[in-house]
């Protein structure tokens, strides 16, 4: 009888122990995993999976395994809010996401109420950090105004443009880029002959391209994503309009090269610096290629960096307590594929940045 009791008690204890070790650090991952913007979200999701797999194999964070909670927001602000509510109720401790600026902004309030640190690898809309409204928000990518300033400086100093047409796709991201570009151009007193939004997904943009020609613009700065950019450069070529096409990192995607083909040649765009020389970057890309046998895709490095930074902060903070984690993010440096980073007061990563790229012979070439 006594033996039975001992057995029973040890069983109970066993369960209790497994109960403790079953407690996990929950890392939410939100972004577009379906829909036409899925190519921007899937690389980050896979980055998170690779990071978590590696960390779990090395014993996890604070001795606990890391669990992924993956949610698809399709870059849609309405869905993003639901996704945020879902992640909060599922008990996410930190969230990697969202991908699109609009969706991120829609979701951030929910996370702020729930005191969850959020880190986006790709939401570059400046007010997300600069407004100070979201102390829980961080990002591993530089903001749009940095991109726009770089693009304008390059256009003026290296390309010598005189008359600029600025177009955007009316979205948070594209419009933001276009407005910052216009601001920078106005400061330099360069003539902006056209500043307009175009309808994303419209059948064609030939009328607006005619307008660009009529205004005599020698360059076209576009804020938006690759589907519209492909149409614009194709129309520029077809309509024999001689204007340099300059855009943002939403255009720096393999799809732009594939879809626009020869029309993409000579187009300029900003994009995150080429970091392939960093050892951790190489390791991350190798891990991806070993797992999926393909190139990682957009924002993979930033996503990888964000996942590492978040989990590292939890480790350094010694708990998942909001204040401790946020403090760790702001004070502790972490080695990532985008360099050795920590975050400033507003949530922007110190030491990450953009370069100018040009399409030459069907590839993106980094300009010095």
Partner 1 sequence: MEYFLELFFSGLTRGSIYALIALGYTMVYGIIQLINFAHGEIYMIGAFVALIVAGVCTIYGLSGFAILILAAAIAAVYAAAYGYTLEKIAYRPLRGSPRLSPLISAIGMSIFLQNYVLLAQTPDFLPFPRLIPDFAFMDDVAHIIGSPELVILVTTLITMVLLTLLIKKTRVGKAMRATQQDLNMARLVGINVDRVISLTFVIGSVLAAIGGVLVASYIGQVSFYIGFLAGIKAFTAAVLGGIGSIPGAVLGGLIIGWSESFAAGYISSDYEDVLTFVLLVVILIVRPAGILGKVRKQKV
Segment 320-339, which members bind partner 1 (CB under 8 A)? none
**Binding marks (x or -) toward partner 1, 79..98, rule CB under 8 A?**
--------------------
The residue among 132 and 201 lying less far from partner 1, judged by its C-beta, is 201
- The alpha carbon of residue 142 and the mean position of all alpha carbons in its chain are separated, in whole angstroms, by 9
Task: Specify whether the CB–CB gap between 69 and 90 falls below 8 A.
Answer: yes
Would you count residue 363 as binding partner 1 (CB under 8 A)?
Answer: no
- The yes or no reply on residue 295 touching partner 1 (CB under 8 A) is no
When binding is defined by CB under 8 A, the residue of 186, 196, 323, 366 that contacts partner 1 is 196
CA gap 64, 60 in Å, rounded: 5
| Least gap, CB of 216 to partner 1 (angstroms) | 12
**Which of 10, 157, 210, 331 is in the footprint of partner 1 by CB under 8 A?**
210
Closest CA to 355 of 250, 268, 285, 277: 268
Q: For residues 53 and 130, what is the distance between their CA atoms, to the nearest angstrom?
A: 34
Residue 210 vs 331, nearer CB to partner 1? 210
| Least Cβ distance, residue 318 to partner 1 (angstroms) | 41
Is there a contact between 161 and 188 (Cβ–Cβ < 8 Å)? no
List the one residue from 115, 211, 273, 358 that touches partner 1 (CB under 8 A). 211
**Taking contact as CB under 8 A, which single stretch among the options 8-16, 190-198, 216-224, 354-362 is the one that binds partner 1?**
190-198
Q: Token digits for 84? A: 């945020």
C-alpha to C-alpha distance for 139 and 168, rounded to whole angstroms: 23
Tell me which residues in 22-51 interact with partner 1 (CB under 8 A): 34-36, 38-39
Ranges assigned E (strand) in 142-294: 163-168, 191-197, 219-223, 244-247, 268-272
Contact between 259 and partner 1 (CB under 8 A)?
yes
Beta bridge partners of 348: 139
The interface region with partner 1, picked from 93-101, 116-124, 233-241, 339-347 by CB under 8 A, is: 233-241
> From start to end of the chain, where are the E strands?
25-31, 66-72, 94-96, 118-120, 137-139, 163-168, 191-197, 219-223, 244-247, 268-272, 334-336, 339-341, 354-360, 363-366
Which is closer to partner 1, CB of 204 or CB of 350? Answer: 204
- Nearer of residues 104 and 234 to partner 1, judged by Cβ: 234
Binding of partner 1 at residue 234 (CB under 8 A)?
A: yes
Tokens of 26: 């929950």
Decide: is 298 part of the binding site for partner 1 (CB under 8 A): no
Which chain residues interact with partner 1 by CB under 8 A?
34-36, 38-39, 167, 170, 196-199, 201-208, 210-211, 213-214, 226-227, 230-231, 234, 238-241, 255, 258-261, 263
């Amino acid at each position: 009888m006594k033996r039975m009791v001992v057995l029973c008690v040890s069983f109970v204890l066993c369960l209790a122990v497994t109960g403790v070790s079953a407690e996990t650090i929950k890392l939410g991952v939100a972004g577009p995993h379906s829909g036409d913007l899925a190519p921007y979200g899937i690389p980050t999701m896979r980055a998170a999976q690779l990071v978590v797999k590696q960390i779990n194999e090395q014993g996890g964070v604070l001795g606990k395994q890391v669990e992924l909670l993956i949610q698809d927001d399709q870059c849609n602000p309405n869905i993003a809010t639901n996704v945020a509510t879902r992640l909060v109720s599922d008990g996410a401790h930190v969230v990697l996401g969202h991908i699109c600026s609009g969706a991120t902004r829609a979701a951030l309030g929910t996370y702020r109420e729930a005191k969850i640190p959020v880190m986006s690898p790709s939401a570059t809309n400046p007010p997300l950090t600069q407004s100070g409204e979201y102390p829980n928000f961080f990002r591993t990518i530089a903001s749009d105004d940095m991109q726009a300033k770089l693009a304008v400086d390059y256009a003026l100093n290296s390309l010598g443009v005189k008359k600029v047409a600025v177009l955007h796709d009316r979205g948070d991201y594209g419009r933001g880029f276009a407005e910052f570009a216009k601001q920078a151009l106005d400061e330099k007193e360069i003539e902006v002959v056209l500043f307009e939004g175009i309808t994303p997904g419209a059948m064609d943009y030939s009328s607006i391209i005619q307008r660009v020609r009529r205004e005599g613009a020698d360059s076209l700065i576009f804020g938006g994503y690759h589907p519209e950019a492909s149409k614009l450069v194709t129309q520029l070529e077809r309509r024999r309009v001689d204007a340099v096409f300059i855009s943002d990192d939403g255009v720096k995607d393999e799809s732009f090269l594939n879809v626009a083909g020869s029309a993409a040649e000579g187009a300029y765009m900003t994009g995150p610096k080429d970091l392939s020389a960093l050892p951790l970057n190489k390791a991350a890309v190798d891990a991806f290629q070993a797992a999926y046998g393909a190139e990682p895709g957009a924002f993979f490095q930033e996503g990888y960096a964000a996942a590492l930074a978040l989990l590292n902060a939890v480790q350094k903070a010694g708990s998942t307590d909001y204040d401790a984690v946020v403090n760790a993010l702001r004070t502790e440096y972490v080695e990532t594929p985008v360099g050795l980073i920590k975050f400033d007061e507003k949530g922007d990563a110190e030491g990450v940045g953009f370069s100018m790229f040009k399409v030459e012979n069907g590839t993106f070439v980094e300009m010095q």
